[in-house]
Amino acid sequence: MKLTVKDIHGNAAGELEVGFALLDSGKGTQAVHDAVVAYQANQRMGTACTKTMGEVTGSGKKPWRQKGTGRARAGSFRSPLWRGGGVVFGPKPRDFGKKVTKGTRKLALRKALSERLRAGDVLLVEDLPLTAPKTREFVALLRALEVDGTLLVVHAGTSPNLNLAARNVPDVELTSGTELNTYQVLRHDKLLFTRPAFAQVEARLK
């Protein structure tokens, strides 16, 4: 499969042959599911915490005598039935993380990219040279490329000007070719790669 490479003005500047074989529609679906579920699970903090009856502040004294008051018997101010008492079976800090094998992650990324390439959602540019960290310059570049909807920009490495220029643009996310994951590929409407970044992804998938 060949991709058209564009310059920063939106004009065709050549073609690039995709360096990995696209997967058939029936293969890799389960790997994509596993990778996305694991990614979302690993984003969870797992810090929710409630206090049990033994952890809340309160005296161990019996509120009132057992019999003769006409009220229900009570043995503790920290009872879960009382306001300010402990919580029964409440959440405690835990790790929600899931592990996925390297082969599964690789298969999932290859499958996701294959589908996005077939759908025509991948754009390729030679580079994203910004002379200054100006959001206006970055927006003008996107307008020239006729990009609509949410966008994932994949570049080859550290680019301070690009990071600063893109951070104020809504619905735009930046990542590098070495850090690209399946969830990011599926989440956005369009994917914008620089040629060096696409080469990095191809090297990961070969």
Predicted confidence (pLDDT) per residue in 150-182, tens digit: 999 999 877 888 999 999 899 999 999 999 999
* Residue 71 banded pLDDT, cuts 50, 70, 90: very high
Dist CA 66 CA 12 (whole Å): 87
DSSP SS3 for 154: strand
Dist CA 187 CA 82 (whole Å): 45
Mean pLDDT of 114-121: 92
Asked if 165 contacts 188 with a C-beta cutoff of 8 angstroms, the reply is no
pLDDT at 94 over 90: yes
DSSP SS3 for 49: coil
What pLDDT does residue 181 have?
Answer: 95
Asked if 118 contacts 146 with a C-beta cutoff of 8 angstroms, the reply is no
Strand order in the sheet with 122-125: 12-17, 2-6, 122-125, 190-194, 151-155, 172-176
Distances, alpha carbon 119 to alpha carbons 114, 115, 122, 186, 200, in Å: 9, 6, 8, 12, 21
Dist CA 144 CA 113 (whole Å): 24
Domains of the chain: 2-20+27-44+97-205 (3.40.1370.10), 46-95 (no CATH)
| Better-scored residue on pLDDT, 191 or 12 | 191
Report field, pTM of the whole predicted structure over 0.95: no
The residue behind tokens 């040279």 is 129
Asked if 31 contacts 114 with a C-beta cutoff of 8 angstroms, the reply is no
What pLDDT does residue 15 have?
Answer: 86
